[in-house]
Amino acid sequence: MSTLRERRPGEIVFMTLLLAGSLFMLWQAYGISKFESITSAGVFPMLATLTLVVTGCLILRDTLRSRLAADASGRTLAQRFARELAPPAVIAFTAAIAVYMGLLDRLGFIVSSYLFLVFGMRLLGSRRWGLNLLVSALSLAAIYLVFRTAFSVVLPAGSWLQGWLK
């Protein structure tokens, strides 16, 4: 017995994008060794991404078969998508992650991560700046000690700060 579930607004577009990304990753995995042999370097990445493609196709098929969830409020599909799947907090935090990734190479791991942690806590609802500053500093110190000291990982120093740190 199979019952069709209701799909959320934007789910078809999301699944299509996931499938396209999986196909792209499969192509990239194929480029590693062109499937020269069963023991070549690209076999495991190709199997993993092939699994993504197959399951993505199955989920997209089921999504296309499902019906759009009813909405009694009279909102448009775009309004429902914005309210249910992309609220302002999610958009703001996604933007913060993008800014963090952009600043990581320029400001380095410590400065960019500290700024990300402080503002990330604020975006997630914390109004206590002093506590945000302290928790971010302690968390970053612990992360730095573990990765730099215990695992000997070289963390990015930052191109903008290179002249000041020498």
Averages of pLDDT over runs of 10 residues in the chain (166 residues) are 74 92 94 81 90 96 88 79 82 95 92 96 94 97 90 81 58
* Tokens coding 57: 């196709």
Question: What is the signed CA dihedral for 99, 103, 108, 110, rounded to 10 degrees?
Answer: -30
Q: What is the pLDDT of residue 2?
A: 56
- For β-strands 6-7 and 67-68, DSSP reports them as parallel
pTM, to two decimals: 0.60
Residue 50 lies in a domain: yes
Give the residue numbers spanning the domain of 94: 88-150
Tell whether 146 and 117 lie within a shared domain.
yes
Tell whether 74 and 136 lie within a shared domain.
no
Q: What is the pLDDT of residue 1?
A: 47
- Which one of 84, 106, 132 terminates a domain? 84
Residue 163 lies in a domain: no
Q: What distance lies between CA 85 and its chain's CA centroid?
A: 15
Residue 164 lies in a domain: no
Tell whether 110 and 126 lie within a shared domain.
yes
Sequence-distant (6+) residues with CB within 8 A of 17 are none
CA distances from 16 to 20, 65, 113, 117, 138 (A): 6, 14, 33, 32, 41
Q: What is the pLDDT of residue 10?
A: 84
Residue 92 lies in a domain: yes
Tell whether 73 and 17 lie within a shared domain.
yes
Residue 113 lies in a domain: yes
Residue 117 lies in a domain: yes
Residue 135 lies in a domain: yes
Look at the chain and report how many structural domains it folds into: 2
